[in-house]
Amino acid sequence: MEWRSIMERETLFKRTGFAGSLDVYIEVMLQKIKEQVGEKKVLCALSGGVDSSVCAALVHKAVGDQLICMFVNTGLMREGEPELVNEIFGEQFHMKLISIDASDRFFDKLEGVEDPERKRKIIGEEFIRVFEDESKKLGKIDYLAQGTIYPDIIESESDKGVVKSHHNVGGLPEEFDFELVEPLKWLYKDEVREIGEALGLPREQVWRQPFPGPGLGVRVVGAITREKVEMVRKSDAIFREEIKKAGLEQSIWQYFTVCPGCKSVGVVDGRRTYEQAIVLRAVLSSDAMQASIAELPYSLLNKITLRIIDEVDGVNRVMYDITPKPPATIEWE
């Protein structure tokens, strides 16, 4: 069974009373998953982000050990991501979990690619190919569960043209060996978080920062290199740490760093430098369809800036992006 339109989404919400009866709504989705999957196996693509985590918890509740979770380390993950995935899903939820380090494979495919749409499609296609290759070792698997949510579909399939392909929507190859299970595809992010809490996921996991499917690959503007990815990974960790220390992590919808790929002249210890810039981005939203700028205190911005310049090799300038959505998207690519 599949919801095929906005009207179906609204009809389902009215019928199940999402706002007042979350348990009933979850039961409807569990039944849909059971009807679709039957007795067959399901492979779930875990990224460590909110959407894939809630998707995994929901599918696991529906079909139990028929679910096999797979975490593919693309080399484009946030700091500490692989360890967190193993802790929550392997140790706490006792799901069948397979971790694959495919970072070399992804960097090879992305070498020299500058266009953001090509990057997204390469990442999406390679993601599926890794799953196909690894699933062959597990025997026959018919279904692939993904944490696609409604804003992903809107941006990938807008009637005014593609805004950006999401690696689990427009980034998918035309042919692959799985039937998709996408139980969150008509939900907004705030609804996904509510479901995650109802399913018993740790609050810190449910309220994690939204993280794009292509990972840090779309937070490095232009061609991806390991050095630029590491700059973003380290600066992002600093940004998140300082936001948490300031007690703002629950009040800001999304905050992250970007390497725009431009160099600038600086001076360190009396010597000229010519190094990369890092952009800070922090926005307020409820559903990712529109976003306003988080007005961070200058003292906090100054502290974050000094730490990034001091602790991240190859960076000599930090900027703060104050563009709302629209006209900009939340992510740079």
For 292-309, the pLDDT digits (tens) are 999 999 999 999 999 999
Residue 184, pLDDT > 60, answer yes
Q: Are residues 243 and 173 in the same domain?
A: no
Phi/psi for 8 (5° steps) reads -65, -40
Report the CATH number at residue 171. 3.40.50.620
Q: Are residues 154 and 195 in the same domain?
A: yes
In a domain, 277, yes or no: yes
From 138, 171, 206, give the residue that closes a domain: 206
Among 290, 294, 205, 203, smallest CA distance to 246 is for 294
In a domain, 332, yes or no: no
In a domain, 211, yes or no: no
Tokens of 290: 């529109």
From 152, 172, 206, give the residue that closes a domain: 206
Q: Are residues 163 and 264 in the same domain?
A: no
Q: Are residues 159 and 36 in the same domain?
A: yes
In a domain, 1, yes or no: no
Q: Are residues 48 and 167 in the same domain?
A: yes
pLDDT more than 70, % of the chain = 87
Residue 4 — pLDDT band, cuts 50, 70, 90?
A: very low
Total domains present in the chain: 2
**Region 103-117: what's the mean pLDDT?**
97
Q: What pLDDT does 250 receive?
A: 86
Q: Are strands 271-284 and 292-293 parallel, antiparallel or unpaired?
A: antiparallel
Q: What pLDDT does 174 receive?
A: 60
**Region 268-291: what's the mean pLDDT?**
94
In a domain, 187, yes or no: yes
Residue 170, pLDDT > 50, answer no
CA distance 35 to 226: 43
Q: Are residues 81 and 178 in the same domain?
A: yes
In a domain, 57, yes or no: yes
**Region 188-201: what's the mean pLDDT?**
90
In a domain, 212, yes or no: no
Residue positions counted in the chain:
333
From 184, 206, 228, give the residue that closes a domain: 206
Q: Are residues 44 and 185 in the same domain?
A: yes
Q: Are residues 195 and 224 in the same domain?
A: no
Q: Are residues 163 and 230 in the same domain?
A: no
Beta strand extents in 53-206 (DSSP E only): 67-73, 96-101, 143-145, 179-181
Q: Which residue has the tokens 């018919």?
A: 142
Q: What pLDDT does 7 receive?
A: 56
Domain range holding 105?
6-206
Residue 46 — pLDDT band, cuts 50, 70, 90?
A: confident
In a domain, 61, yes or no: yes
> Which H or E run contains 64?
none
Q: Are residues 254 and 153 in the same domain?
A: no
